Homo-oligomer: A and B are copies of this chain.
Amino acid sequence: MIKYPFNIENNKKDNLKTSSISYKNRGLSLETMLNDSNKYYLFIDKAIIYKKPTPIHIVKTNKENKITEAFFEKPSTSDYNGLYKGKYIDFEAKETKSKTSFNLKNINSKQLKHLYKVDEMGGISFIIVYFTALNDIFFYSTKNLKEYISKSKRNSIPIDEFIKKGRKIEISLYPILDYLVFIDELL
């Protein structure tokens, strides 16, 4: 009957949840946690969200159609997009080693423009920032990002701003990062 690791009895699920603190020391990357969460959302028919493949410029392929020369391109959109409650969802996920702030250089100008445009055109856009040294992960809407950038002269966002205006995503199970709850607040 059990076809998928997620598909366990509630009882067992709750037991596992109490041990979720162990995740904190596993050193999982934000990408791994988000991909896993998105797989879970897809499995329970909650949302269809995928990480976009990295754009690559292919220079040469051989006879077997194997790529022998290529290079990475700078992305002009964000990392993740998809569908939730009929709405278009779009976000960028970033990790920082800093304990005090998130440097805006981590988001290139094309990506920022893209997030703004999605927000202006009725989509839901945001960023997720993981302060790895603190084990803190924040959901921060494009509206907040826009407001902060327009008001502040700094090229980084202090962690206090994320605490005040963003929402902390607690590491859990099923899914590991339940970031869609914060979208419910925006709808």
Q: How many copies of this chain does one complex carry?
A: 2
* Contact among B50, B69, B114 with A66 in the assembled complex (CB-CB below 8 Å): B69
CB nearest to A86 among chain B residues: B122
Q: Is the CB of A72 within 8 A of B65?
A: yes
* In the complex, A158 has a CB within 8 A of chain B: no
Find chain B residues with CB under 8 A from A81 CB: 81-82
Q: A67-B71, A69-B68, A72-B67 are in contact. Are A87 and B85 (CB under 8 A)?
A: no
Which A66-118 residues have a C-beta within 8 angstroms of B?
66-72, 77, 81-83, 85-90, 114, 117-118
Find chain B residues with CB under 8 A from A53 CB: 52-56
A-side interface residues toward B, CB under 8 Å? 42, 45, 47-48, 50, 52-56, 65-72, 77, 81-83, 85-90, 114, 117-118, 120-123
